[in-house]
Amino acid sequence: MASVKPSVPKGMRDFSPIEMVKRNYIFDTIKSVFRKYGYQQIETPTMENSATLMGKYGDEGDRLIFRVLNSGVYSDKVQIRKDQFASISANLELHNQDTIPLRFLKNERQLTNELSEKALRYDLTVPFARYVVQHQNEITFPFKRFQVQPVWRADRPQKGRYREFYQCDADVVGSDSLLNEAEFILIYDEALSKLGLTDFNIKINNRKILSGIAEIIGKPELIVDMTVAIDKLDKIGLDGVVNELLTKGFTQQDIDQLEPVILLQGTNTEKLESLKTILASSAIGLKGIEELETIFTYLQSFSLQKATVELDITLARGLNYYTGAIFEVKTNEVSMGSIGGGGRYDDLTGMFGLKGLTGAGISFGADRIYDVLEELQLFPASNTQTTQVLICPFDKAGETYALPMLQQLRKVGVNAELYPAGAKIKKQLDYANNKNISYVVVIGSDEMQSGLLTFKNMETGEQQKLSAEAIVKAVV
């Protein structure tokens, strides 16, 4: 065992101290903004009953859910049918095989359910829906909750895609006010501005407008194909979108109607005006326009810091899920996929039997935001999470001498360490450097005799002789 080089499972990560400081900076910033807007934190267990998760994310999702093996003598519960044996035995003889895969004896799906009753959280939304239904009698609605926890997906790992990653969600249930949607835009604006981004775009659309468009073309049943196609405009261009639409059952006449919608230009107000004409005969389309107008009206009373808000009719994002507003956030400063998204869903808790509770929510893509801040060098150079002062004694006498000062530093709130006696000063300074410690205090026999300690600023290299009291004052 000792010879195996230790590692983590593929797609999973350790986070070093320096990474944790940066990750905490992002999470703490987002959390503080969530709280400012009245969202409260909850946590749900890592494991849910399999029945809670299965079937909620489509077949592909089911496949990607990590299942936990039952504990105890679990294999007693897996029963192999006798009539499997006869045919299998014959087969074994026939092919002269020595072993046979378990799959031949038991359907794998059935096997999984007999082996496993629990599964790992796949996202934060379904556990939240389960939470709301389970605790509905303790909850005061509207319920504004945020949640920052890891989720797990048995996806093929690749650059930027992990099997364990944190989600960072805020949702409100039990309020149909569009003030919530407006505030989600404010939350994106405030959190991302606070993190130092200066140029980012919050795209907004409304599922009802997409429904309206499909309606006026006379192909409401093709709404999914339509939105999947036009959602790709950025990537495959207009020709690509048109080709895809043609293969999906749209006619050239449909496309003549769609094209001006897809290519809609102008300010948000201009776009809405155009849409009013285009969707004049669609009640649901007009409702979508009205909702967007209400959100824009709210936003007029607020001032945004750095975000621009753009109505984008091609935005779809998990369309079958959303029923009203749809959001997506992109930075213009580096090339990166969306760093946030969300929308309104009218029946979140229906899957657990609680009907008619409307909800809306947003999510921050923490890993991508991390990469953006790294690339733009926006992480603050100094922080309060690391050690500020390291005391470096030449010997045991220096160590003893340093103890009261060490306690004094901590007493006034300074993160401080004393390097235990016995190491060369060079090694101690390397330690300070590697740990990004701001100040070092060196204590040798001269220093103890004079009471003036060598105080070094590790960033500037500047060095002076100061008393212990003066040093404590200088670093507070």
Question: Is residue 167 annotated as involved in ligand binding?
Answer: yes
* Residue 391 is a binding residue for its own copies (CB under 8 A): no
Question: Is residue 83 annotated as involved in ligand binding?
Answer: no
Query: Cβ distance 219 to 250 under 8 Å?
Result: yes
> How many Cα atoms sit within 13 Å of 363 on the Cβ side?
17
Compare residues 37 and 321 and give the one whose CB is closer to its own copies.
37
Compare residues 186 and 262 and give the one whose CB is closer to its own copies.
186
Q: Minimum distance between the CB of residue 194 and its own copies, rounded to whole angstroms?
A: 12
Q: Minimum distance between the CB of residue 333 and its own copies, rounded to whole angstroms?
A: 24
Distances (CA, A) of 25 to 16, 21, 31, 32, 317: 14, 6, 10, 11, 28
Question: Is residue 125 annotated as involved in ligand binding?
Answer: yes
Residues 174-203 that bind its own copies (CB under 8 A): 175, 177, 179-180, 186, 190
- Using CB under 8 A, pick the residue from 22, 25, 125, 145 that binds its own copies: 145
Which range touches its own copies (CB under 8 A), out of 116-124, 203-211, 251-259, 318-326? 116-124
Question: Is residue 123 annotated as involved in ligand binding?
Answer: yes
Which range touches its own copies (CB under 8 A), out of 92-100, 253-261, 369-377, 462-470? 92-100
Instruction: Give the distance between the most distant pair of CA atoms in the chain.
Output: 94
Distances (CA, A) of 95 to 86, 90, 384, 453: 14, 9, 68, 84
Compare residues 274 and 386 and give the one whose CB is closer to its own copies.
386
Question: Is residue 258 annotated as involved in ligand binding?
Answer: no
* Stretch (H or E) spanning 208: helix 207-217
* Residue 291 is a binding residue for its own copies (CB under 8 A): no
Sign of CA dihedral 380, 386, 388, 391: negative
Calculate ∠ Cα 250-254-258, nearest 5°.
Answer: 110
* Residue 298 is a binding residue for its own copies (CB under 8 A): yes
Q: Minimum distance between the CB of residue 402 and its own copies, rounded to whole angstroms?
A: 9
**Three-state secondary structure call for residue 400:** helix
- Using CB under 8 A, pick the residue from 27, 44, 310, 338 that binds its own copies: 44
Compare residues 92 and 228 and give the one whose CB is closer to its own copies.
92
Residues 392-431 that bind its own copies (CB under 8 A): 399-400, 403-404, 407, 410, 413-418, 420-422, 430-431
Compare residues 403 and 476 and give the one whose CB is closer to its own copies.
403
Q: Which residues contact 457 (CB under 8 A, 6 or more apart)?
A: 438, 439, 463
Compare residues 298 and 322 and give the one whose CB is closer to its own copies.
298
- Using CB under 8 A, pick the residue from 198, 243, 274, 386 that binds its own copies: 386
Q: Minimum distance between the CB of residue 235 and its own copies, rounded to whole angstroms?
A: 29
Sign of CA dihedral 238, 334, 300, 357: positive
**Which tokens go with 93?**
């003889």
* Residue 161 is a binding residue for its own copies (CB under 8 A): no
Question: Is residue 124 annotated as involved in ligand binding?
Answer: yes
Q: Minimum distance between the CB of residue 356 and its own copies, rounded to whole angstroms?
A: 13
Give burial (CB, 10 Å; 0-12/13-18/19+) of 369: buried
* Residue 381 is a binding residue for its own copies (CB under 8 A): no
Backbone φ and ψ of 8, nearest 5°: -105, 160
Q: Minimum distance between the CB of residue 245 and its own copies, rounded to whole angstroms?
A: 35
- Residue 349 CA to residue 356 CA, distance in Å, equals 8
Strand partners, 457: 439
Q: Minimum distance between the CB of residue 354 and its own copies, rounded to whole angstroms?
A: 9
Residues 54-83 that bind its own copies (CB under 8 A): 55, 63-64, 66-69, 71-82
Residues 4-43 that bind its own copies (CB under 8 A): 4-9, 12-17, 20-21, 24, 35-38, 40-43
174: which DSSP letter?
S
Number of residues that bind its own copies (CB under 8 A): 127
**Three-state secondary structure call for residue 118:** strand
* Residue 251 is a binding residue for its own copies (CB under 8 A): no
Residues 326-365 that bind its own copies (CB under 8 A): 350-353
**Which tokens go with 14?**
């350790």
**Which tokens go with 141?**
């609605």
Compare residues 118 and 219 and give the one whose CB is closer to its own copies.
118
- Residue 231 CA to residue 224 CA, distance in Å, equals 10
Question: Is residue 131 annotated as involved in ligand binding?
Answer: no
Query: Cβ distance 336 to 371 under 8 Å?
Result: yes
- Residue 9 CA to residue 39 CA, distance in Å, equals 34
Q: Minimum distance between the CB of residue 179 and its own copies, rounded to whole angstroms?
A: 5
Strand partners, 326: 205, 343
Name residue, tokens 């009907």: 355
Annotated binding site for L-histidine: 123-125, 153, 167, 171, 317, 321-322
Annotated binding site: 123-125, 153, 167, 171, 317, 321-322
